[in-house]
Amino acid sequence: MKPRELSEEECKALLLSARYGRLGLSRDDQPYVVPMSFVYHDGKIYLHSRGRGRKVQYASENPRVCFQVDVLEKGRWMSVNAFGRAELLDDIEAKQRMFDAFTRMGLGGHGGKSFQRQDLERMELTVWEIAIDELTGREGVW
């Protein structure tokens, strides 16, 4: 079967159902891809990481990113690529938005914990808000 393009609604449905994906970054002609847990909420992809490290360095220098999710089952595959711009935030409001989005999806905080505002204020945490510019997807069989 020739791969079929997914509609925007199908792409969003896959983003809503997936919990892990791959963040693609690039800096100085050097690509970097890393798996991350995420949540898709209100048209944005939310991720979180420590306030330092390779992915933070890459995104600080080049905020253009691609986030990819896929599902493979019973000889069928679906894949979505979300292209956009990552905004790296560490303020309490961004942390609260991100944890609220994870909680709304039934994921809770780290290990299912819920956090109070004072807990979030102390966390060394970078919130990634990816505003999606382009969403593409395909499905097929093998």
| Stated pTM of the model | 0.87
The pLDDT, as a whole number, for residue 99 is 80
Alpha-helix runs per DSSP H in the chain: 8-17, 54-61, 92-104, 117-122
Count of residues for the chain?
142
Name the band, by pLDDT with cuts 50, 70 and 90, for residue 25: very high
Name the band, by pLDDT with cuts 50, 70 and 90, for residue 90: confident
The pLDDT, as a whole number, for residue 61 is 95
User: How far lies 78's CA from each of 2, 44, 61, 129, in Å?
Assistant: 13, 20, 31, 24
Tens digit of pLDDT for each residue in 67-84?
Answer: 999 999 988 999 999 999
Which of 80, 64, 109 is closest to 12 using CA atoms? 80
Mean pLDDT (whole number) for 106-131: 71
The pLDDT, as a whole number, for residue 104 is 76
All residues at 6 or more sequence positions from 45 whose CB lies less than 8 Å from its CB, including other chains: 15, 21, 38, 39, 67, 82, 84, 128, 129, 130, 132
Whether the CA torsion 42, 19, 37, 84 is positive or negative: it is: negative
- Give, rounded to a whole angstrom, the gap between the first and last alpha carbons of the chain: 8
